[in-house]
A and B are shown apart, each in its own frame.
Chain A
């Protein structure tokens, strides 16, 4: 990166460090922070949408829909994340390829399952094996977002389901008395008020989501923990211009700082949102705010 990095073995500490921290490999590490942040910020709304859908399904008056909602929540919550990540992602990937195979290669006569192998025609591969590595990464990342969304959505569904039931019954009765339809009272009365009750649970989920990102590596996405381990491991001068002993401790301290800073900022933001949401509510926080005003 810098001109003086030609021969790192002659450099003293500071320039050496500057060169070391700007090698291509280090940039992959920095890039993985962006990957993790992108995953968190994309997954959170996706999970919230799944959760909202799940909660609505679970309290729906239509029986099959209610079953669907409850089964979704119970199944995902009951299966360990790691099992779910191993199984679901492969099944989803193969399912998509199977569908594309049926559409694109209708006259393919070889069986798709050959012993352990899962064979679809080359045009049905997702992404195509000819497409550049970037697309494979984007595809893996999308699978990761979807999977995280489903897992965290199930937990969010349970939180929202509880929150919807926590809104005082009197509020809904009043809405009915005003002649609102169930749909109107749901969107105008229930939903705006339930966030207050959902927030503690959702903020827990957010924190857990932040810390769950190392699971990404199971899905073939190289995350910050992978790179910290890879870069921190002792580097042999035969294979690198920047040999160093086992530095994993330092890399992991870096990660610790990152995660602590991130969760701290999240706490501050969540506290603000709580304050805003309690405004005008009949909860302890809301009443206190009212008195202060």
Chain B
């Protein structure tokens, strides 16, 4: 009888911990349309919101959305404030040393430049990029003049007010901005940098990574991922 009780208690404990793990906190930036942004109702919205909700449904997880500043998005994942990063983060070797990535959910795409005129010389000019992005690293590597900003919005504002000659960022983000403003142009020149975009997880969270990997794979297989990518115009399709 006593043994039975202990077993029951042990079961209850494991069930409890299994349940506790089933709420997955999804960390995003909320400032990078069309990937992720805060909509009028004040909720996280965009390509990654829809993708994340679908992945959680397929992996049978309960997910909750949290926003975090881009600059501290990796440290806060590692210290356990949320369980995944789903914020248009390109898979790079440097990041892979600190965290793990799922397989990519958008293929590698070129980064583009946005400027006030179409004939800007980026190599001789000042290029704006968001801090801690592959684009900022790229500009710094080329030895060009780089100005960094904490949010994507500010990089475009810097071009508008003349602080920078061009912004280097993901093409989908810049295309959304250029489509809306007649005074901003995408340059013809593009840079092939970085890998595809994936979800970031703690290196110790192998089980969760495998679940999301499987869910992404199933969305790739049945074509729903491509539909989502086309719907939000975030990248080329697989």
Compute how far the CA of A230 lies from the CA of B37 in the bound complex, rounded to whole angstroms: 10
- Could you tell me if B78 and A118 are in contact, using CB atoms closer than 8 angstroms? yes
Chain A minimum-CB-distance residue to B75? A90
Majority-rule SS of B interface residues? mixed
1/0 per residue, CB under 8 A from A, across B1-38: the answer is 00000000000000011011111110000110110011
- Is B209 among interface residues, defined by CB-CB distance under 8 A? no
A25-B42, A118-B80, A233-B153 as given contacts; A243 in contact with B23, CB under 8 Å: no
- Could you tell me if A119 and B204 are in contact, using CB atoms closer than 8 angstroms? yes
- Could you tell me if A24 and B43 are in contact, using CB atoms closer than 8 angstroms? yes
- Is B39 among interface residues, defined by CB-CB distance under 8 A? yes
Chain B residues near A246 (CB, 8 Å)?
157, 160
- Could you tell me if B203 and A117 are in contact, using CB atoms closer than 8 angstroms? yes
1/0 per residue, CB under 8 A from A, across B55-66: the answer is 000000000101
Chain B residues near A25 (CB, 8 Å)?
38-42
- Is B214 among interface residues, defined by CB-CB distance under 8 A? no
- Could you tell me if A129 and B79 are in contact, using CB atoms closer than 8 angstroms? no
- Could you tell me if B180 and A243 are in contact, using CB atoms closer than 8 angstroms? yes
Compute how far the CA of A220 lies from the CA of B66 in the bound complex, rounded to whole angstroms: 10
Chain B residues near A239 (CB, 8 Å)?
33-34, 37, 39, 45-46, 176
- Could you tell me if B75 and A27 are in contact, using CB atoms closer than 8 angstroms? no
- Is B92 among interface residues, defined by CB-CB distance under 8 A? no
Among the stretches A57-65, A120-128, A176-184, A272-280, the one at the interface with B is: A120-128
Chain B residues near A93 (CB, 8 Å)?
79
- Could you tell me if B66 and A136 are in contact, using CB atoms closer than 8 angstroms? yes
Compute how far the CA of A123 lies from the CA of B40 in the bound complex, rounded to whole angstroms: 35
- Could you tell me if A236 and B176 are in contact, using CB atoms closer than 8 angstroms? yes
Compute how far the CA of A130 lies from the CA of B15 in the bound complex, rounded to whole angstroms: 14
Task: Count chain A residues whose beta carbon lies closer than 8 angstroms to a beta carbon of B.
Answer: 43
**A256 to chain B: closest CB distance in Å?**
18
Chain B residues near A233 (CB, 8 Å)?
31, 151, 153, 157
Contact of B76 (CB < 8 Å), options: A23, A220, A240: A220
Of B39, B80, B157, B176, most buried by chain A (CB within 10 Å of CB) is: B80
A24-B41, A243-B180 as given contacts; A230 in contact with B31, CB under 8 Å: yes
Chain A residues near B39 (CB, 8 Å)?
25, 239-240
1/0 per residue, CB under 8 A from B, across A237-273: the answer is 1111111001010000000000000000000000000
Chain B minimum-CB-distance residue to A105? B17
Chain A minimum-CB-distance residue to B205? A117
- Could you tell me if B160 and A23 are in contact, using CB atoms closer than 8 angstroms? no
- Is A186 among interface residues, defined by CB-CB distance under 8 A? no
- Is A84 among interface residues, defined by CB-CB distance under 8 A? no
- Is A208 among interface residues, defined by CB-CB distance under 8 A? no
- Is A4 among interface residues, defined by CB-CB distance under 8 A? no
- Could you tell me if B33 and A242 are in contact, using CB atoms closer than 8 angstroms? no
**B169 to chain A: closest CB distance in Å?**
14
**B150 to chain A: closest CB distance in Å?**
9
**A107 to chain B: closest CB distance in Å?**
10
- Could you tell me if B23 and A130 are in contact, using CB atoms closer than 8 angstroms? yes
Chain A residues near B45 (CB, 8 Å)?
239
Chain A residues near B31 (CB, 8 Å)?
230, 233
**B23 to chain A: closest CB distance in Å?**
5
Contact of A129 (CB < 8 Å), options: B25, B76, B176: B25
Q: What are 25 inter-chain pairs, A to B, with CB distance below 8 A?
A: A23-B41, A24-B42, A90-B79, A94-B79, A116-B98, A117-B203, A118-B79, A123-B16, A123-B17, A123-B20, A125-B80, A128-B20, A129-B23, A129-B25, A130-B19, A130-B20, A130-B22, A133-B66, A234-B153, A234-B156, A236-B176, A237-B180, A238-B176, A239-B34, A239-B37
Q: A25-B39, A25-B40, A234-B156 are in contact. List 7 more A-B contacts (CB 8 A).
A: A97-B80, A117-B78, A117-B204, A122-B20, A129-B20, A218-B72, A234-B177
7 shortest A-B CB distances, which residue pairs?
A: A24-B42, A233-B153, A122-B20, A24-B41, A25-B42, A23-B40, A28-B42
